[in-house]
Amino acid sequence: MSQALQAPRAATRQEPATVGPGLRDGLRTEWTKLRTAPGTFWLLLAVIVLTVALGTAAVAAAKCPAAGCGQDPAKISLTGVDVGQAVVAVVAVLIISGEYSTGMIRTTLAAIPRRLTVLGAKAVVVTVLVLAAGIVAVLGSLLAGRLILPGHGFTAAHGFASLSLGDGPVLRAATGSVLYLALIALLSLGIATAVRDSAVAIGFVLGLLYLFPIVAAAVSDKDLHRHLLQAAPMMAGLDIQATTGLRSLPLSPWAGLGVLAAWAAGALVVGGLLLRFRDA
């Protein structure tokens, strides 16, 4: 990762005086800040551990007593993403809110006056880190499912193949879950840029993710219920994890992830505009 960001060459490079610092400098700055900030490593480790732990717990609790039990082994294995995303949100919120709470943001913007460049660099850095953590977390979760599920009735006799990335829908669920985590990071970054305060931002993000399904469960009107599930960033985005029963989903898997992408893009636009036009 560090090679891609060219950190080792940093000390020797010299910018022409007439050109302001660009995205490349922004990336290097953000990477250095994130790399040296206490906690980043632990938070990313927490993403992996929590995701795999909850996934393993869900897999251990799952049972398929007979053929046609209507379970989705890939989705069960990837349940841990439900909790891993919260830590991803923390990482993404802190990358910007942390600067506001310490006043570091003023130094950052003095060094790189193009504010959208700063936001872009932060988005790239956090996406790369979350993708890396997400790949490990998702592979670990699927491995747990592959090892444990056959012992709980998810056997060929009951119509389940062993979980494998060679299987198209499983690959889609795995890739999609990694992308899902990256989009959650971007959504959180956008919201935190707009809100600034870390506690308010994380409350906002987690409310947006976790409370939609609770309201949807309380609404009895069938159409409204379906629309809520289609619009909810978490529920729509997690449609990507489905490998069976696609027809009963409120949205197709990739369309669901698209909804989350739209939320993330919207949040980044709002955050970017506020960052651009507001005093730091």
Coil vs helix vs strand at 53? helix
Q: 112 or 235, CB closer to another protein?
A: 235
**142 burial type by CB count under 10 A (0-12 exposed, 13-18 middle, 19+ buried):** buried
Question: Which residues inside 27-56 make contact with another protein, applying CB under 8 A?
Answer: 39
* Unique residue bearing structure tokens 């939320």: 263
Q: Number of residues in contact with another protein, rule: CB under 8 A?
A: 49
What token pair was written down for 210?
């976790």
If the CB atoms of residues 68 and 168 are measured against another protein, the closer one turns out to be: 68
Based on the shown chain and the rule CB under 8 A, indicate whether residue 186 belongs to the binding site for another protein: no
Show the tokens assigned to 205: 């993000």
Nearer to another protein, 29 or 97 (CB): 97
As measured in angstroms, the least distance from the Cβ of 249 to another protein is: 7
- Closest by CA to 185, choosing from 256, 276, 94, 104, is 94
Between residues 75 and 115, which has the closer beta carbon with respect to another protein? 75
Q: Please answer whether residues 271 and 250 qualify as being in contact, where contact means their C-beta atoms are separated by less than 8 angstroms.
A: no
* Near another protein in 74-113, by CB under 8 A: 76, 79, 82-83, 86-87, 89-90, 93-94, 97, 101
Is the CB of 123 or the CB of 195 nearer to another protein?
195
Gap between the Cα atoms of 56 and 45, Å rounded: 16
Interatomic CA distance for residues 58 and 241, integer angstroms: 14
5 or 125, CB closer to another protein?
A: 125
Cα 243 to Cα 170: distance, rounded to the nearest angstrom: 6
Stretch that binds another protein, among 114-122, 126-134, 141-149, 209-217 (CB under 8 A): 209-217
If you ran DSSP here, which 8-state letter would residue 221 be given? -
Taking CB under 8 A as the binding criterion, the range among 4-12, 109-117, 179-187, 199-207 that sits at the site for another protein is 199-207
Residue nearer to another protein on the CB measure, 20 or 39: 39
With a CB cutoff of 8 Å and minimum separation 6, the contacts of 127 are 182, 185, 186
C-alpha to C-alpha distance for 114 and 91, rounded to whole angstroms: 23
* Among positions 131, 200, 255, 270, the unique one binding another protein when judged by CB under 8 A: 200
Three-class DSSP category at 65: coil
Q: Among positive and negative, which fits the CA dihedral 83, 34, 138, 231?
A: positive
Only segment of 142-150, 162-170, 213-221, 268-276 that touches another protein (CB under 8 A): 213-221
Interface contacts to another protein, rule CB under 8 A? 39, 58, 61, 63, 68, 70, 76, 79, 82-83, 86-87, 89-90, 93-94, 97, 101, 195-203, 206-207, 210-211, 213-222, 224-226, 229, 235, 248-250
